[in-house]
Amino acid sequence: MMGKMLKSHCWYAGGLHFECTGCGNCCAGPDEGYIWITPREIELLAEHLRLSVEAVRKKYIRRVGFRLSIIEHPATKDCIFLTPSKDGCRGCAIYPVRPNQCRTWPFWNENLASPDDWNRAAVKCPGIDRGRLYSVEDIDRIRKQKSWCQEK
């Protein structure tokens, strides 16, 4: 009962619209950030790239405290896997195996804290407030998602 009461008072109780436009803005600088990745996601990335796990770790991963993050282009701070596509847009070179952090955008806690935070995210992301309507239950399920792949 308490969960239902809290959801009804949530600022996005009516749900939120989002549809990825493939613009790549969520993967781009200008500030340094972290693209968290798990050991299992690194294994799948290695398979996708046809490299060893060690080669992927050496070339594309950095340690941040006790966590692992995909590296960024030094000059642009864009994700190293954000690449130009044939149509002049940008795309993810590892889209089928992208980390959970990327899969759950824009339904991150910091974007959902308030309408102002959601609107700030919308300035960078043209897919926010358009497309599919995600219910509160959909959003909660996405927010609670620990990983899209099974951890070993």
Tens digits of per-residue pLDDT, 83-119?
A: 987 777 788 999 999 999 999 999 999 999 999 999 9
Q: What is the pTM of this model?
A: 0.82
Q: How many CB atoms lie within 10 A of CB 84?
A: 10
Q: How far apart are CA 26 and CA 146, in angstroms?
A: 20
Q: What confidence tens digit (pLDDT) does each residue in 1-10 have?
A: 445 444 556 9
- Rounded percentage of the chain residues whose pLDDT exceeds 90: 72
